[in-house]
């Protein structure tokens, strides 16, 4: 008795099955990377000049609960008021900044209420950045150390001065 096996049909089906299995594995991995942090979060950076460089500060701001830099509670509140859009932040009314051009660039990338957030803007100087973005980009050396250690950072210190604090860059 002779048994025959349709090898040509198997050879045609195997590559298609392999592609489907790979696609099924890649989609959940991509979704997991995109939603790496639960809730609202932004990766924040402030650099000197107009282009990305290593000369600057960064922090991961998490807002559920607020953590990531020293003024996280205040920053998350300000972002909540503008639905997570740093471009919608309003200027401090009592800020007075010198007319000195020393550009700093603020960038934010993350997710807010399930939608992606991308923001980049160059300000004339650090005082202008602080006056126009409030606590959101008020990064300090402790924030950078927390991020370098891979920690989420501290919760907000509280106690508002009412003046625009220029972040050190």
Domains and CATH numbers, the chain: 38-148 (3.30.350.10)
pLDDT score of 7 more than 70:
no
Q: Look at 77 and 11; give whichever has higher pLDDT.
A: 77
pLDDT score of 154 more than 80:
no
| Mean pLDDT score across all residues of the chain | 75
Burial of 58 (0-12, 13-18, 19+ CB in 10 A): middle
Q: Are 168 and 125 in contact (CB under 8 A)?
A: no
Provide the pLDDT for residue 72: 96
Which of 162, 169, 161 lies closest to 129 in space, CA to CA? 169
Provide the pLDDT for residue 167: 52
Provide the pLDDT for residue 132: 95
Q: How confident is the model at residue 87 (pLDDT cuts 50, 70, 90)?
A: very high
Q: Are 169 and 104 in contact (CB under 8 A)?
A: yes
Q: Tokens 């790496």 appear where?
A: 36
Q: pTM of the prediction?
A: 0.64
pLDDT score of 101 more than 60:
yes
Q: Look at 37 and 25; give whichever has higher pLDDT.
A: 37
Q: Look at 46 and 162; give whichever has higher pLDDT.
A: 46
pLDDT score of 29 more than 50:
no
Task: Quote the CA–CA distance of 39 and 43 in Å, as a whole number.
Answer: 13
Model pLDDT for residues 51-81, shown as the tens digit of each residue? 777 678 999 999 999 999 899 999 999 999 9
pLDDT score of 148 more than 90:
no
């Amino acid at each position: 008795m002779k048994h025959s096996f349709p090898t040509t049909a198997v050879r045609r089906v195997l590559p298609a099955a392999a592609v489907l299995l790979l696609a099924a594995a890649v989609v959940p991995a991509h979704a997991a990377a995109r939603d790496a942090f639960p809730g609202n979060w932004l990766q924040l950076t402030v650099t000197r000049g107009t282009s990305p460089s290593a000369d600057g500060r960064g922090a991961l701001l998490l807002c559920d609960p607020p953590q990531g830099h020293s003024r996280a509670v205040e920053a998350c509140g300000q972002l909540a008021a503008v639905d997570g859009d740093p471009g919608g932040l309003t200027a401090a009314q009592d800020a007075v900044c010198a007319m000195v051009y020393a550009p700093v660039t603020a960038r934010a990338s993350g997710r807010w209420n399930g939608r992606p957030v991308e923001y980049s803007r160059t300000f004339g100087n650090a005082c202008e950045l602080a006056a126009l973005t409030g606590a959101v980009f008020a990064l300090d050396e402790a924030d950078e150390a927390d991020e370098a250690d891979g920690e989420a950072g501290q919760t907000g210190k509280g106690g508002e001065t009412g003046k625009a604090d220029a972040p050190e860059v």
